[in-house]
Each structure stands twice: as structure tokens, then as C-alpha cells.
Amino acid sequence: MLPRRVLPHQVHMITRRCSERRFFLKPTKATKAIVLYALGVALKATSVEFYGHVVEANHYHAVVGDPKGELSAFMQRFDQLIGRALNAYYGRGESLWCPGSFSNVEIHDEETLIRELVYVYSNPVKDGLVARPELWPGLKTAPEDMGNLTLTAKKPETAFFGGKRPKNWIARGTLTPAEVRQAEAEQRQEAARARAEGHRVRAPRSKLPDEVCIEVKLPALAEDRETFVSRVRAALEREIEEIHAKRQADDKTQFMGAAAIRALDPFASAGSTYPKFKLNPRIASGNQDGERQHLLRELKAWRAAYKAALEEWRNGRRDVVFPPGTNRMAKLHRCVVGEVPLLL
């Protein structure tokens, strides 16, 4: 596995997919509350900035800024909280996320940022789910939200966060509805007996905040908000027109629709999980004056420097300096990380 470079002051397009392409993120009141709250908690715990996202039934895309090189800490907090909460909600174990499905693509210029934002906004249309981005029933943002929207998310009332499970919640494949009702009645009776006997009610142990704020910020790569937002909106409308034209040419005139999306079985899958062996790019950039080639050479040089430093480390040299952007080794082993960017 190639090392992941996490540099400060970098914009990323991030993606994560559910295990076996299952619809664990399908839009419901509970899943939307959990994901939005987890996003707020992860943003509060790090310096990462949020620019926009869309959460589909089995994966999500988001565009974020990373002023201090804390992307990995943000992703760990975000994905871990979603995974644990949704596993408790669905009554399942093991990983909610597909191993190795986390992707971060570095964005280096305004044109590329617009392209990646348009990809995020138009994703439900591209996937044949709804005809317009605003018709998507799950979590989403729009171009006009950047620098103009602050969301508030309260701690969800699901069992993982100390609340109650929904009345119709049944652990899949374990209890029948009658058995669930009987178990709940026994729990209520036991709680009533404990109160009558004067047992101390255990204080909540959660340190999670009761409420978090999610600010949709304007990327630093954008010089003027009004101009940038209008450019993104125009590019988005062009992309939607192209998607509709392509679907029309392929005789695909129908979209799945919000009702069918809400009716999905969260344990169903979108299809085959056999790997497609597609490229997983780490750099997104325009190609002005060979900029992309320069960035790729820079990334290649970084990986070579990392590999050489890691070899020295394995040979027992603990004072070896790893290249800037080294994340995992710095976190796990507190290796020395250089502060001067690589020069080609």
C-alpha cells in the first residue's frame, strides 16, 4: 500500500464506501442525524474546513480543506463515529466501511476545485437516482451554501448515543417482533424495580457534545465568493444537461426517485463487489503548462524519499528525517518529519 501524503493548507476531495456496497447510509431520519452529527464532531475536533458534500445510500463524497494537516484525524473521527453508531442502529458487527475504500484526491487550483465540487453536487444525478441534485432526499449541499450556511446537529437519540432504539427496531435475524416486545417489557420492569429499590441511576458517561455546528465555508482557493459560486452553479447546470443528454442517448429516461431510494433495504447491495482495478488518483489538477505532470513528479519524489527514510528506520536509525506530509509514521512512532518542502 502506498503511503498517504497529508500536507497542511491542502484541499481534498474525500470518498468512502460502505462494506460490500450495502445501503447502510440510505437516507432516513436516523442515518441523516448520525452522519451530520458525526461530521460536526469531527470538524470540532480538528481544524479541517467543510466546503460541501453528498451522502448517497452506500458512499459519500465531500470536499474539505486541511489547514494544519489533520485530514487523517478528521477521517478517523468521522468514519469511526458513523460506523459505531450505525452498527448499533442496525444491530450488526464488523466494519461498516469497505477496507481500503478511503480516497483523498489533492486539489491544487480553482478550476479543478470547481470540477470536483460539480462532481460531488451532481453525483445523485449521474448515478440515475434523481433528476436534479436538490431532489436527493439525503444529506447534500449546494453551491450557494458555501460561505453562507451554518448547520446545527443535535446528538442523535439512537441507542449508541444513550437514547432509545426506534419502536420498530429489530436486530436482524435474532428476535421476532413478539420476542422483542417481551424483552423490552422485561427491561422496563427491571428498571422500575431498580428505581423502587432506590438504586442509583448511572450517570451518562458520554463526552460527546449535545449539539454541534457545521459551517459550510468558502474555499481559500476562491478569490471572490459571488464570482466563484456563480461559476460553480453554471458548471453544475452544464453537467446536469450533459448527464441528461447522455442518458437520453442511452434510452435511460427514468430516474429511481426519492420514494424508491427510501424503500431500499439497508442490507441490500448495489451489485458486484469484485474489484474493478481502476486508477485511484491522488492528484487532481488542470494541465496548464504541464502543472499536472509537475505535481505527479513531486508526489513520486515524495514517495521515493518516504521509502528511503522508512528503510533507514527499519535498519534502526531513529533520527532519520521523513519528508513533510508523513502521517502514519509520525502518529504511531513519532518519527522526525522535515519542515522544508521537497524541491525538484
Res 190: pLDDT: 79
Q: Are residue 198 and residue 75 in the same domain, yes or no?
A: no
The answer to whether 121 and 52 have CB atoms below 8 angstroms apart is yes
- Reported as half-sphere exposure (CB side, CA atoms, 13 A), residue 289 has a value of 0
Residue 1 counted as domain residue: no
Q: Are residue 42 and residue 115 in the same domain, yes or no?
A: yes
Other CB atoms within a 10 A radius of the CB of residue 323 amount to 22
Res 215: pLDDT: 98
Q: Are residue 294 and residue 263 in the same domain, yes or no?
A: no
Q: Are residue 184 and residue 234 in the same domain, yes or no?
A: no
The residues of the chain scoring below 50 in pLDDT are 343-344
Res 182: pLDDT: 82
Q: Rg for the chain (alpha carbons), in Å? A: 23
Asked which of 269, 286, 303 is the last residue of a domain, the reply is: 286
The answer to whether 81 and 202 have CB atoms below 8 angstroms apart is no
CA–CA distance, 309 with 329 (Å, rounded to integer): 11
Residue 5 counted as domain residue: no
Tell me how long the chain is: 344
Asked which of 251, 286, 321 is the last residue of a domain, the reply is: 286
Angstrom CA distances, 220 to 10, 53, 69, 70, stand at 10, 17, 15, 17
Other CB atoms within a 10 A radius of the CB of residue 100 amount to 10
Number of domains comprising the chain: 3
**In 3D, which of 28, 33, 53 has the Cα closest to residue 122?**
53
Q: Are residue 128 and residue 249 in the same domain, yes or no?
A: yes
Residue 142 counted as domain residue: yes
Res 344: pLDDT: 46
Residue 4 counted as domain residue: no
| DSSP string for residues in 283-301 | EE---GGGHHHHHHHHHHH
Q: Are residue 175 and residue 27 in the same domain, yes or no?
A: no
Q: Are residue 89 and residue 234 in the same domain, yes or no?
A: yes
CATH number at residue 32: 3.30.70.1290
Residue 3 counted as domain residue: no
Residue 233 counted as domain residue: yes
**204 secondary structure, DSSP code:** P
Residue 185 counted as domain residue: yes
At 220, give phi and psi (nearest 5°).
Answer: -65, -25
Q: Are residue 338 and residue 235 in the same domain, yes or no?
A: no
Q: Are residue 199 and residue 157 in the same domain, yes or no?
A: no
Structural domain containing residue 301: 290-344
pLDDT in tens, 279-288: 777 888 776 6
Which residue's entry shows cell 476562491?
222
Other CB atoms within a 10 A radius of the CB of residue 272 amount to 9
Residue 134 counted as domain residue: yes
Asked which of 236, 263, 286 is the last residue of a domain, the reply is: 286
Q: Are residue 45 and residue 114 in the same domain, yes or no?
A: yes
Q: Is the dihedral of CA 176, 182, 184, 187 positive or negative?
A: negative
pLDDT in tens, 205-230: 668 899 999 999 999 999 899 999 99
Res 202: pLDDT: 56
Q: Are residue 215 and residue 313 in the same domain, yes or no?
A: no
Q: Give this prediction's pTM.
A: 0.83
Q: Are residue 65 and residue 213 in the same domain, yes or no?
A: yes
